[in-house]
Amino acid sequence: MEAQHVKAICPGSFDPITNGHLDIIERAAQLFPRVIVAVLENPNKKPLFSLMERVDLIGQVTAHLSNIEVSCFSGLLVDFARRVEGNLIVKGLRAISDFEIEFQMALSNKKMAPEIETMFMMTKNEYSFLSSSMIKEIAHFGGAVHDLVPPQVEKALALKFEHYF
């Protein structure tokens, strides 16, 4: 598959998007001509940010990238990828602890949709400990998250937890 024919998908819950996610999305946008950020609507999870809030925040923080589209999906990622004619799934890998689940997901997706590739990028060292759950916990108890999330997300978290600036 040549890079110019790639339509890449960066999937996730993005509750909310972090600097770690943004780093992976920006790097994917440099490598491939079209990138779709795909936000999972998971009826089994109660997210802090609604689907529309998550999509909106991603739109705001990726506004500087002209080849990014933000979309949402429920159900299987491979079904979404086929619907939008995506042919590559791009994911960030943080620590060894991510590996097992990511390996399982990549092989399951490959079994269901052999024509779709999965590619992993190692996260930047400074974001290797970051997760949306950790950020929500820090923000919930009034800790500083300004180095961990884009300013728009910092503000949205402050509003959610009513720590007004």
Tell me which residues touch ligand PNS (CB under 6 A). 11-13, 40, 76-77, 105, 108-109
CB of 162 to ligand PNS, least distance (A): 25
Query: How many whole angstroms separate alpha carbon 111 and alpha carbon 144?
Result: 42
The nearer residue to ligand PNS, 134 or 163, going by C-beta atoms, is 134
CB of 101 to ligand PNS, least distance (A): 8
Query: How many whole angstroms separate alpha carbon 16 and alpha carbon 55?
Result: 9
Query: How many whole angstroms separate alpha carbon 85 and alpha carbon 132?
Result: 28
CB of 165 to ligand PNS, least distance (A): 28
Are 8 and 35 in contact, with CB atoms under 8 Å apart? yes
Query: How many whole angstroms separate alpha carbon 9 and alpha carbon 38?
Result: 7
Tokens 């909310």 sit at which residue?
16
| Catalytic sites, residue numbers | 21, 45, 94, 132
The nearer residue to ligand PNS, 124 or 163, going by C-beta atoms, is 124
The nearer residue to ligand PNS, 114 or 165, going by C-beta atoms, is 114
The helix, strand and coil proportions of the chain, stated in percent and rounded to the nearest 5, come to 45, 20, 35
